[in-house]
Structure 1
């Protein structure tokens, strides 16, 4: 009886039912789109951090930057031998990025902290290559100048003209990798696309892996020899970053990197993996407490420094979008409730007659709530369809977003040197932003949220209408009989 009457009344008032369902569908569709875009922003931000941090890395440990009162860091110094005549000079300056290093024993200290699953050290280096030549000036005697007695030195009188120096300065990055433990750190965010990666036994071998973009620029191939500070390395593999820029231009065994930079038993960064991703903050606190003089940076800390259009869009999705969808959803619920009340008001004669025939107020209320629930479910189905279609359309037409990881003291390898995407773990500045394709994935949780909102909307509308219907009396129907 209940279902038969329900179906008949909905069919008879289908225009009003569709109006209520459409209002709910609009609010639900907007919620789906906003949640999907927000989820896409989080995925995009994760890709940015992944390209920098390395797969499986939960946090990094670096040396804390010295107080400003202790003076700044010493910059690079170039020394050339004085030569007579035209002389070509070349020098490689290899230095730890950020100018701050930790003892290699720090890796074991970090690994021994409660909640740490694994820890691996790495040494991030900047290489400045200076090539050029000095050209001495030419002595030009003064016309008519007398020899001897000039200046008390007995030498000819005149002046030196011309001469000078012309140098080209190129820079690139080298990352010292623990070849025996390559499952953690920046190299894990790249895939070997040619050749091979390091062998576990190549802890001190003169081999290198080159980033694909850098290899293309320098025309390096597998088997090519590259010289760093007079040491020749054979390129055994070409690696392509999964997203964004690679952590470094070249990767070499950790011991070789320490030798190149005169940083024996030193690292710039300790990459840490936690036992439980839910306890990252606790592990961070433990490391900072038990290992003084270090700075611990988590992916959440780095996420706060992401800027560019990705950050702008993420902020809009998180703030304006959510508040807008909430406002529209509340408005849809209120309108659905008011429309249901209005519909009940137009059915006074019908409900009064049913009560005169013996229907209890509870049965009338259940009838109204049942109709409102069906309207809510129909609105939910429509809202899910529109929302999913909108999310996929947004994915298809949305442009790429840019992201830059701004300067952040104490970032991986930075030691206060500042870290940006494309700069790798050592803190050098990037000369280009990371481009990320925006997507709007619709998850099962989002669909479940939409169903819950549809049911909630039906209950709210039914509550409005049921309250109105429960107050009707049989006498109300008799007053309206013409």
Structure 2
């Protein structure tokens, strides 16, 4: 009887049911779209951070920035020999630790001993500046018209030839690239994990001090490097065993070599610039950070959340809009849809006074009338849920298909980033980096289940409005309206 009456009433009031369902569908669709876009923003930011941070890395430990006036920044110095052959090309390079701040390698072990640390690995970030060129000697040209007739036969009164040096000078090219020394025995942590080996292979665990290298694909293309060829760092030739491609954005370094080799060429034995840390769980990140800062003085700990605060540009702006305005707007529309559905249901009950009064006169209890109204409202809510989910999925698909490009600009945290892979420099400020990220709008199962819950809630709220009104009707109200 319940379902028969329910089906008949919904069929008879199709337009009213469609209006209620459409209102709920609008609110639910907006919630799905905003939620999916926010999820896409979060994933985009994660890609930006991974390009610097390394997959699985929760935080980095670098040396704390030195106080003002506590030692000037080292400047690169280049020295050239005086050669008789003016056409000889001269070349020299300088390997510099990024940020000029290092930690003892023993710091890696100390960090790994802290409670809540699952893994820790050290790395050394370097910048190599290579200068190539040649000097050209100038030519002295005498001024024949000067000093004619004077003593010395064309020389000035001081006995020196009159004239000037013309031509000569120097022409040098400066080539700068970055090198990252990686611990080949622990390659599942650190910035190299944010790249994929696309040609050749990665390092072997036994190549701790081997003269081998992995180069970034963009740098390999620029310098025409390939697997089997060599790249020179401070006079040492490294055989390229693999080519890597960054998953997103720029690579952490142009060239990757074993950590011991990096320490050797940089004259930084048993030194690292960065310790990459993986916490045992995401809930322990703040606790681990506090423990490291307390137990290992003279260090700066930077988490992914700290780095995320430095992300600006259209990605940050859009993320703030989605998280703020978008969520508030969707919540407001959803509340309005619920209220409209409830008011429409209550209004429909008012127009059915004669019907419900007659049913009560025939023996229907108030609870049965209320259940009937709630049942109709619940079906309207489920219909709105289906329409809303369909519209929300369509909207998310359109966003993903268009894939608008957002720009993420990464600035300095002021103490943890030093020009290199997420803090590779140890306390120096670094220049901003700009990355382009394609936005997607993934819809998760939890979002769909949430939409279903909203549809049911909308139906129940609307039914509660109408049911309360219907429960207050008396049979006498129906008799008054009988002509």
Provide the TM-score with structure 2 as the length reference.
0.93
Q: Which residue of 1 aligns with 2:237?
A: 232
Q: Which residue of 1 aligns with 2:222?
A: 217
Contact persistence 1:419–1:425 (CA under 8 A): no
CA distance in 2, matches of 1:309, 1:70: 38
- Find out whether 1:10 has 2:15 as its counterpart: no
Contact persistence 1:175–1:250 (CA under 8 A): yes
**Kindly tell me: are residues 336 and 26 of structure 1, through their superposed partners in 2, closer, same or farther at Cα, counting changes over 3 Å?**
same
Q: Which residue of 2 aligns with 1:179?
A: 184
Q: Secondary structure at the match of 1:283?
A: helix
Q: Which residue of 2 aligns with 1:113?
A: 114
Q: What pairs up with 1:38-437 in 2 under 5 angstroms? A: 38-70=38-70, 72-84=72-84, 86=86, 87-143=88-144, 144-145=146-147, 147=152, 155-412=160-417, 414=418, 429=431, 433-437=434-438
Deviations 1:376-398 (A, max 9, x none): 11111111111112111221122
CA distance in 1, matches of 2:123, 2:168: 44
CA distance in 1, matches of 2:427, 2:11: 65
Q: Which residue of 1 aligns with 2:31?
A: 31
CA distance in 1, matches of 2:414, 2:358: 77
Contact persistence 2:98–2:420 (CA under 8 A): no
Contact persistence 2:62–2:273 (CA under 8 A): yes
User: How far did 1:153 drift?
Assistant: 8.0
CA distance in 2, matches of 1:430, 1:223: 34
RMSD between aligned residues: 2.5
CA distance in 1, matches of 2:368, 2:258: 79
CA distance in 2, matches of 1:151, 1:312: 73
Contact persistence 2:191–2:421 (CA under 8 A): no
User: How far did 1:250 drift?
Assistant: 0.5
User: How far did 1:258 drift?
Assistant: 1.1
Q: Secondary structure at the match of 2:300?
A: strand
**Kindly tell me: are residues 276 and 376 of structure 1, through their superposed partners in 2, closer, same or farther at Cα, counting changes over 3 Å?**
same
Deviations 1:90-125 (A, max 9, x none): 111110111211111111111111111111110011
Q: Which residue of 1 aligns with 2:444?
A: 443
Contact persistence 1:407–1:419 (CA under 8 A): no
Deviations 1:332-382 (A, max 9, x none): 011101101110111011111122222222222222112111111111111
Q: Which residue of 1 aligns with 2:464?
A: 463
CA distance in 1, matches of 2:277, 2:428: 16
Q: Secondary structure at the match of 2:89?
A: strand
Contact persistence 2:200–2:242 (CA under 8 A): yes
Q: How many residues align?
A: 478
User: How far did 1:270 drift?
Assistant: 0.5
CA distance in 1, matches of 2:459, 2:427: 53
CA distance in 1, matches of 2:187, 2:232: 24
Contact persistence 2:385–2:454 (CA under 8 A): yes
User: How far did 1:458 drift?
Assistant: 0.9
Contact persistence 2:65–2:428 (CA under 8 A): no
CA distance in 1, matches of 2:427, 2:218: 17
**Kindly tell me: are residues 26 and 374 of structure 1, through their superposed partners in 2, closer, same or farther at Cα, counting changes over 3 Å?**
same
CA distance in 1, matches of 2:427, 2:122: 12
Provide the TM-score with structure 1 as the length reference.
0.93
Q: Secondary structure at the match of 2:400?
A: helix
**Kindly tell me: are residues 480 and 69 of structure 1, through their superposed partners in 2, closer, same or farther at Cα, counting changes over 3 Å?**
farther
Deviations 1:6-50 (A, max 9, x none): 222112112111110110011001100110111111111111211
**Kindly tell me: are residues 253 and 76 of structure 1, through their superposed partners in 2, closer, same or farther at Cα, counting changes over 3 Å?**
same
Contact persistence 1:407–1:420 (CA under 8 A): no
CA distance in 1, matches of 2:331, 2:157: 92
**Kindly tell me: are residues 254 and 379 of structure 1, through their superposed partners in 2, closer, same or farther at Cα, counting changes over 3 Å?**
same
Q: Secondary structure at the match of 1:239?
A: strand
Structure 1 unaligned blocks of 5 or more:
none
CA distance in 1, matches of 2:361, 2:230: 98
**Kindly tell me: are residues 429 and 423 of structure 1, through their superposed partners in 2, closer, same or farther at Cα, counting changes over 3 Å?**
farther
**Kindly tell me: are residues 153 and 101 of structure 1, through their superposed partners in 2, closer, same or farther at Cα, counting changes over 3 Å?**
farther
User: How far did 1:469 drift?
Assistant: 1.5
